Amino acid sequence: MRPHEKDVIAHLRSRGYAVVVWTPDELRGASARVIEDIGIERMSEAIGMLATEPRDEDLG
């Protein structure tokens, strides 16, 4: 990962974003797109269980 890419990730985290990055070596040939889709589904479930604030659409 290039230094400017690491800076972007650090900036997003400092603004409250959750950032997860898997390297090509970590993926070991698995499709990055499929891993992203699985991650979105599972992380959405985790957020639902761990959230301490309502979703904007729940505020009515």
pLDDT in tens, 6-60: 999 999 999 999 999 999 999 999 999 999 999 999 999 999 999 999 888 777 6
Does residue 6 lie within any of the structural domains?
no
Q: What is the pLDDT of residue 56?
A: 81
Q: What is the pLDDT of residue 60?
A: 66
Does residue 60 lie within any of the structural domains?
yes
Q: What's the structural domain count of the chain?
A: 1
Task: For residue 31, give the DSSP letter.
Answer: -
What are 12's two structure tokens? 């997003």
Q: What is the pLDDT of residue 10?
A: 98
Tell me which residue range forms the domain holding 42: 24-60
Rounded CA-CA distance 15/42 in Å is: 23
Nearest Cα residue to 18 out of 33, 2, 40, 1: 40
The answer to whether residues 19 and 13 touch, using CB atoms and an 8 Å cutoff, is: yes
Does residue 9 lie within any of the structural domains?
no
Q: What is the pLDDT of residue 55?
A: 83
Task: For residue 53, give the DSSP letter.
Answer: S
pLDDT(3) > 70: yes
